A and B are shown apart, each in its own frame.
Chain A
Amino acid sequence: MGITCETIWRESSNYIDGTLSPDLQQSIDEHIKTCHACASVLAGLQNIVTLYGDERMAELPSGFSRRLHRRLEANMPTTRRNFFGWAVALAGSVLAVGGIELSRASHELPNSSSKLSQRLAKPIPPDLQVVVSDKGKLFHLAACPFIINRETVRHMTASVALAQGLSPCTRCLSKYL
């Protein structure tokens, strides 16, 4: 009552987001019962938010992750486990005194990409049975405790999940990552 169309349009975004005061919300609800134009604006905005908010609107190009990992691998420094991190730090101290320990320590480091190579050489089996929940962006093993909306899960193979642009859960499928 007394609220103008202009005010409603200005607040339409907040209305959709549900961030208006209850009074203003109610005034708008009353207004759109009889104002066709404003009802159209709000219904249209709701559709926009719903459609663009769907996860299918945020898909990655095919092969994105593979290319990214290749680039990272090419640019990552020598991988060190904690122990070797300490070894290098220690070697650095020795070097500061004039020693040549650093180069020796470096030579003793494991092959930087050994773990990565291992990972890449052991991909997720394509026929591995996985589950995906409604609106989920990850695929999981059925027993994974991190599945959201478990009641909506669909079963498929890992290759199908990957083809749909879904990503593996980093918890239950960690041995493949």
Chain B
Amino acid sequence: MPENPAETAYEAELIQRIKSGEHDLFYRLIQPYERRVYAAALAIIRNEADAEDIAQDSILKAFRHLSQFRGEAKFSTWLLQITINQARMRKRRMTLRAMESISDQQNDEGDYMPREFADWREIPSESLERKEIRTALVEALSSLGEKYRSVFVLRDIQHLSIEETARVLEISPGSVKTRLLRARLMLRDFLSPGLNGQWTATPAFAKGNKPWE
């Protein structure tokens, strides 16, 4: 999303011209956001074909309702809100609820306790060139429940702020933080065996043992 004033002004001008009838410019307007829209849809619906369809629906809906965009929020936030809502509606229809992972049924109450305490050496970004690493990351992400996955995708993959994430998902910033913490810890635990190399530590806190209680 545009962060500098020149780009924001350029985007505002594009929107104004599209509203005035220069519909072709819509391609330019949404082009920087295609990845985000797709990723947001995929965060809700873990199926690439459906996510693409939802992304298309959402962008088309944004075009049809652009006259309702008043510029109170960023265009990207508005577009992502549409996408999340479209994806949720689709998910409801698809009755995926029964197949939802267990972690989705957990509520935010109570702390998530890390389970793995082995050493984590720094993992260089170059490791992402390796397909098995990327596959592992994608699988780990899809193992999360939707409410955690959607927060994590918006915040840590799309780099939205806490406030923007809260606005898109229509939840409080506090809930964003709680879910983000849990999502990150769950991903860390999920990926520890494969990514951390050697196990060097005996868990200081055995399973089920909570020393603070």
Contact = CB atoms under 8 A, between A and B. Distances in A.
B48 A36 contact: no
B137 interface: yes
B209 interface: no
B111 interface: yes
B-side interface size class: 35 or more
Interface stretch (A71-79, A97-105, A124-132): A71-79
Interface string B161-192: 00000000000000001001100110110011
Interface stretch (A21-29, A45-53, A152-160): A45-53
Contacts of A56: 128, 134
Given A54-B125, A72-B60, A60 B35 contact: yes
B77 to A, nearest CB: 17
B12 interface: no
A44 B196 contact: yes
B34 A60 contact: yes
Interface stretch (B68-76, B101-109, B199-207): B199-207
B156 A64 contact: no
Contacts of A9: 111, 113-114, 185
Nearest to A171: B10
A80 interface: yes
B10 to A, nearest CB: 8
Given A51-B125, A52-B137, A174 B28 contact: yes
A44 B120 contact: yes
B32 A170 contact: yes
Interface string A145-177: 010000000000000000000011010001001
B65 to A, nearest CB: 13
Interface in B106-123: 111, 113-114, 116-123
A12 B187 CA distance: 14
A48 B187 contact: yes
B78 interface: no
A58 B157 contact: yes
A58 B205 CA distance: 36
Per DSSP, chain A at the interface is helix
Given A51-B123, A53-B159, A71 B34 contact: no
A68 B157 contact: no
A68 B55 contact: yes
A122 interface: no
Nearest to A16: B184
Nearest to B200: A36
A83 B35 CA distance: 34
A41 interface: yes
Contact of A57 (B38, B120, B157, B201): B157
A82 B63 contact: no
Contact of B118 (A4, A40, A71): A40
Contacts of B35: 58-60, 137
12 contacts: A37-B201, A40-B118, A41-B188, A44-B196, A52-B152, A57-B134, A61-B48, A75-B60, A77-B23, A85-B20, A167-B32, A170-B28
Given A51-B127, A77-B23, 16 more contacts: A41-B185, A44-B116, A44-B191, A46-B120, A48-B191, A50-B125, A51-B125, A53-B156, A54-B125, A58-B39, A61-B38, A64-B38, A67-B52, A71-B60, A76-B23, A80-B22
Interface of A: 4-6, 9-10, 12-14, 16, 35-37, 40-41, 43-54, 56-61, 64-65, 67-69, 71-72, 75-77, 79-82, 84-85, 115-116, 119, 137-138, 146, 167-168, 170, 174, 177
